Amino acid sequence: MATERLSLRIDAGLKKDLEREARREDRSPSWLAAKAIEATLRNRVEKRAAIRAAIEEAQNGAFISQEAMDDWIDSWDSDAERPPPKPDVRIR
């Protein structure tokens, strides 16, 4: 994969932390910074996908009420733990 140079300004303390962590991993600070940027961008893509999926689900008009969720959560770690609730609120 071709690489390109990127220059950016960061806080002096952050630079020292990056250099220290890079030494611990026996990598260069630029390699570690590139991996952090990759992870951040990947997380943002995954978050947007999850939001899109939630919007699509919401457009179906089926939701789980707060009461049903609370009842389910309250049953956790008990002898009568309930299964996850099913949608009990319909819109449309």
CA 85-88-92 angle, to 5 degrees, is 145
- pLDDT of residue 91 exceeding 90, the answer is no
- pLDDT tens digits, one per residue of 25-79: 999 999 999 999 999 999 999 999 999 998 988 888 889 999 999 999 999 999 9
Contact 92, 61 (CB under 8 A): yes
pLDDT band at 1 (very low <50, low <70, confident <90, very high): confident
pTM of this prediction exceeds 0.85: no
